[in-house]
Amino acid sequence: MDLLLERGHRVIVLDNLVTGSVENIAHHAGKAAFRFIQQDVTEYLFLDEPVNYVWHFASPASPVDYLELPIQTLKVGSLGTHKALGLALHKGARFLLASTSEIYGDPLVHPQREDYWGNVNPIGPRGCYDEAKRFAEALTMAYRKEHGLQTRIVRIFNTYGPRMRLRDGRVVPSFIGQALAGRPLTVYGDGSQTRSFCYCSDLIEGIYRLMMSREWRPVNIGNPRELSVRQFAETIIRLTGSRSRIAFEPLPQDDPKQRQPDISRARRILHWEPKVDLEDGLRRTIEWFKSRTVRKRISGARAA
Ligand code: UDP
């Protein structure tokens, strides 16, 4: 939303704050071009002003969150997407769905191209998120076909950066938090599973370009640099200068063994590719978490 305001758009944020935080938007409070409405997107959406673009990002996205909130996750992906599409239709707006690399499940094709249909376990623990997003893609396509709605679908791969919650549960904040506190880094399984991490500013630029493009087919946005979770833990230990060690814990069920986006479509159509190198992005993220921990300690001491 920072980027939208910078580029001259008016922004209305709808969020029920189940996993989000007002702290992340507090710096926009009072701006004429910005409005915040606390609402669950699965309820009827009423806006008394024109809308040109609907960006549908609502959903828990950390496995820890969606494992705890499976019904809400299914509802936001299905009913929430229905309401958001309905709003776009009513307003004559263009609609963008934030989909995910999770629709590829534990992929049997590597790296993942948009024409791969995926390998998802519908009744496994991740099914609530994966199937909700797959349904959301299908519903988006149905609105395009039946109503002629202008739609865009972005498949977001692992993303990281400032403003994530320390206790988010995803691997980047978990490892950084553990390393900064000198606690062991909890690597699940033997750490040979792979992920590819994209810095938030790169992701946001890619998504903006997609919305402004004419591409209605799904587009992967992510960073193709792939590394194992174990290598990732070692990188965090090195960059934080921590004395933490690695502690191996059981691998959660259905944890995808490998993940790397094929971004040829984004390169070709959006002329986009990530610019921020992993170590640079991680340094910025580590600095942000450090400054937050210091700020929290100071405000904690003041309150005491
Ligand atoms: N992971 C880990 N330790 C943690 C958190 C996650 O080893 O404390 C692993 C997890 O098993 C997965 C990878 O890191 O293989 C990425 O997990 P994350 O929850 O960030 O997202 P996912 O890509 O699985 O959706």
Q: In angstroms, what is the span from residue 141 Cα to ligand 1's centroid? A: 30
Instruction: Record the tokens describing residue 140, joined without a space.
Output: 């988006």
Q: Which residues are catalytic?
A: 129
275-282 average pLDDT score: 98
9 belongs to a structural domain: no
Asked if residue 229 has its Cβ within 6 Å of ligand 1, the reply is yes
| Cα-based distances in Å from 172 to 28, 225, 233, 278 | 26, 15, 9, 12
302 belongs to a structural domain: no
Q: Is the pTM of this model over 0.85?
A: yes
103-130 average pLDDT score: 98
47-68 average pLDDT score: 96
216-222 average pLDDT score: 98
| Cα-based distances in Å from 98 to 188, 201, 287 | 27, 16, 28
Write down the H helix ranges in the chain.
2-6, 63-68, 70-75, 81-91, 127-147, 171-181, 200-212, 229-240, 264-265, 278-303
Class of residue 213 by CB neighbours under 10 A (exposed 0-12, middle 13-18, buried 19+): middle
26 belongs to a structural domain: no
Most informative mutation of 157, 195, 197 for ligand 1 (most atoms within 8 A of CB): 195
Residue 296 confidence (pLDDT) above 80: no
**Cβ atoms 161, 199 nearer than 8 A:** yes
Asked if residue 42 has its Cβ within 6 Å of ligand 1, the reply is no
**Structure confidence at residue 45 as a pLDDT band (50, 70, 90):** confident
Most informative mutation of 176, 229, 248, 260 for ligand 1 (most atoms within 8 A of CB): 229
Range of the domain at 98: 40-288
Q: In angstroms, what is the span from residue 128 Cα to ligand 1's centroid? A: 17
The residue nearest atom 13 of ligand 1, judged by CA position, is: 171
Asked if residue 126 has its Cβ within 6 Å of ligand 1, the reply is no
**Residue positions counted in the chain:** 304
Most informative mutation of 168, 170, 176, 257 for ligand 1 (most atoms within 8 A of CB): 170
Instruction: Record the tokens describing residue 68, joined without a space.
Output: 């705890």
Label the pairing between strands 185-188 and 219-221: unpaired
27 belongs to a structural domain: no
Q: What is the largest CA-CA distance in the chain?
A: 60
The whole-number pLDDT of residue 303 equals 59
The residue nearest atom 3 of ligand 1, judged by CA position, is: 187
Among 7, 92, 93, 14, residue whose Cα is nearest residue 54: 93
88 belongs to a structural domain: yes
**Structure confidence at residue 292 as a pLDDT band (50, 70, 90):** confident
The whole-number pLDDT of residue 3 equals 96
13 belongs to a structural domain: no
85 belongs to a structural domain: yes
Please give the Cα distance from 59 to 170 (Å, whole number): 15
Site of tokens 């809400």: 72
Residue 304 confidence (pLDDT) above 60: no
Asked if residue 178 has its Cβ within 6 Å of ligand 1, the reply is no
Cis peptide before 111 (omega within 30 of 0): yes
Asked if residue 235 has its Cβ within 6 Å of ligand 1, the reply is no
Please give the Cα distance from 245 to 283 (Å, whole number): 19
Residue 293 confidence (pLDDT) above 80: no
Q: In angstroms, what is the span from residue 267 Cα to ligand 1's centroid? A: 27
| Cα-based distances in Å from 23 to 167, 168, 284 | 15, 15, 19
Domain at 188, CATH number: 3.40.50.720
Site of tokens 């959301």: 136
Q: In angstroms, what is the span from residue 64 Cα to ligand 1's centroid? A: 10
74 belongs to a structural domain: yes
Phi/psi for 93 (5° steps) reads -95, 160
Asked if residue 193 has its Cβ within 6 Å of ligand 1, the reply is yes
Asked if residue 128 has its Cβ within 6 Å of ligand 1, the reply is no
Average pLDDT, the chain: 96
The whole-number pLDDT of residue 175 equals 98
> What DSSP state is assigned to residue 28?
G
Q: How many structural domains is the chain composed of? A: 1
Q: In angstroms, what is the span from residue 170 Cα to ligand 1's centroid? A: 6
The whole-number pLDDT of residue 243 equals 97
Among 249, 121, 123, 126, residue whose Cα is nearest residue 178: 249
Asked if residue 252 has its Cβ within 6 Å of ligand 1, the reply is yes
